[in-house]
Amino acid sequence: MALVFRLSSKSGVSAYLQIANQVRQAMLLGVLQPGDQLPTVKEVVGMVAINPNTVLKAYQLLEHQGLVEGRQGQGTFVTVALPGPSPAQQATLRRGLDRWLQAAFDAGLDAEGIVAMVEDRLHDRAVEDIA
Amino acid sequence: MTAFATDEVAKRYGKRWALHGCSLEVPAGRVVALVGPNGACKTTLLHLAAGLLRPTMGTVTVLGGDPARDLALLPRVGLVAQDMPLYRGLTVLETLRLGRKLNPRWDHEMVTDRLLQLSIDVDQKVGTLSGGQRAQVALAVALGKRPELLLLDEPLASLDPLARREFMQTLMQTAAEGDLTIVLSSHLIADLERVCDHLVLVAAGHLQLSDDIDSLLAAHRVLVGPRPTGAIAGVAEVIDEVRAARQSSMIVRVDGPIHDPRWAIEDVALEDLVLAYLSQARDQRVRSLDVVGAAS
Q: What is the pLDDT of residues B234-246, one digit of tens each?
A: 999 999 998 888 8
| DSSP at A37 | B
The verdict on a CB contact (< 8 Å) between A51 and B195 is yes
Residue among B172, B196, B197 minimizing CB distance to A45: B172
Whether the Cβ atoms of residue B186 and residue B192 lie closer than 8 Å to each other: yes
| Contact across the interface for B172 and A54, Cβ inside 8 Å | no
Asked if B197 and A51 come within 8 Å (Cβ–Cβ), the reply is yes
What is the chain B residue with the closest CA to A50?
A: B195
Percent of chain B clearing pLDDT 70 (strictly above): 98
Which of B169, B173, B197 is opposite residue A53, by nearest beta carbon?
B197
Distance CA A66, CA A84 (A): 17
Mean pLDDT, residues B99-115 taken together: 90
Give whole-number Cα distances, A7 to A17, A39, A98, in Å: 10, 15, 26
A-chain residues within 8 Å CB-CB of B199? none
* pLDDT tens sequence across B160-190: 888 889 899 999 999 998 889 999 999 888 8
3-state secondary structure chain B: CEEEEEEEEEEEECCEEEEEEEEEEEECCCEEEEECCCCCCHHHHHHHHHCCCCCCEEEEEECCECCCCCHHHHHHEEEECCCCCCCCCCEHHHHHHHHHHHCCCCCHHHHHHHHHHCCCCCCCEHHHCCHHHHHHHHHHHHHHCCCCEEEECCCCCCCCHHHHHHHHHHHHHHHHCCCCEEEEEECCCCCCCCCCCEEEEEECCEEEEEEEHHHHHHCEEEEEECCCCCCCCCEEEEEEEEECCCCEEEEEEECCCCCCCCCEEEECCHHHHHHHHHHHHHHHHHHHHHHHHHHC
What is the average pLDDT score of chain A? 89
Contact A15 B173 (CB under 8 A): no
pLDDT, tens digit, for every residue of A47-101? 999 999 999 999 999 999 999 999 988 899 999 988 777 778 888 999 999 999 9
**In angstroms, how far apart are the furthest CA atoms of chain B?**
69
Tell me how close the Cα of A9 comes to any Cα of chain B, in angstroms.
Answer: 9
Whether chain B has a CB inside 8 Å of the CB on A17: the answer is no
Q: Contact B150/B142 with Cβ under 8 angstroms?
A: yes
Which residues in chain B have their CB less than 8 angstroms from residue A6's CB?
none
Contact B132, B167 (CB under 8 A): yes
Residues of B with a Cβ under 8 Å from any A Cβ are 31, 165, 168-173, 175-177, 194-197
Instruction: With beta carbons under 8 A apart, name residues in chain B contacting A48.
Output: 169
Q: CA B247, B248, B249 angle in degrees (round to 5)?
A: 135
Looking only at Cα atoms, what is the longest distance across chain A? Answer: 55
Nearest Cβ partner for A51 among B165, B169, B196: B196
Task: Quote the ipTM score.
Answer: 0.81
Long-range CB pairs of B69-75 (<8 Å, 24+ gap) are B75/B103, B75/B104, B75/B105, B75/B145, B75/B146, B75/B147
CB contact under 8 Å between B176 and A47, yes or no, is no
Closest CA to B235 of B219, B216, B251, B252: B252
Q: What is the pLDDT of residue A14?
A: 84
A48, closest residue in chain B (CA to CA): B169
Chain CA centroid to CA A15, Å: 13
Nearest CA of chain A to the CA of B30: how many Å? 9
Residue B84 has pLDDT above 90, yes or no: no
Q: What is the pLDDT of residue B286?
A: 81
